[in-house]
Amino acid sequence: MCSGAVAAALVLSLPAGASGRRQRAAAPALRRGIEVTAIVGLLLLLRVVDGLTVITGGFIVIGFLVAEAILSARPSRASR
């Protein structure tokens, strides 16, 4: 859980960028913190049951990277 909290704090401490807002939204930082916690937890669980290999670890990390890319994508304009 510490890794997720650190990840969320790091995302919140990054500058807001060119969007003009003064503060970052807390929801994306919280989502990324939860994702990091889930990745670390799953990798540790695989390590405990002696199922952690480069392939299984890669599937976990790549799965979360794809999910983050999908969740972070901006929606396109609605068709009329």
For 55-78, how does the pLDDT look when each residue is reduced to its tens digit (9 = 90+)? 999 999 999 999 989 888 877 666
**Cα-based distances in Å from 34 to 3, 10, 17, 68:** 9, 13, 23, 11
- Asked which of 1-10, 36-45, 69-78 is least confident by mean pLDDT, the reply is 69-78
Dihedral over Cα of 49, 55, 56, 60: its sign = positive
- pTM tops 0.85: no
Tens digits of per-residue pLDDT, 9-35? 888 887 766 555 566 678 888 888 999
Where do the structural domains in the chain lie, given as residue ranges?
Answer: 2-72
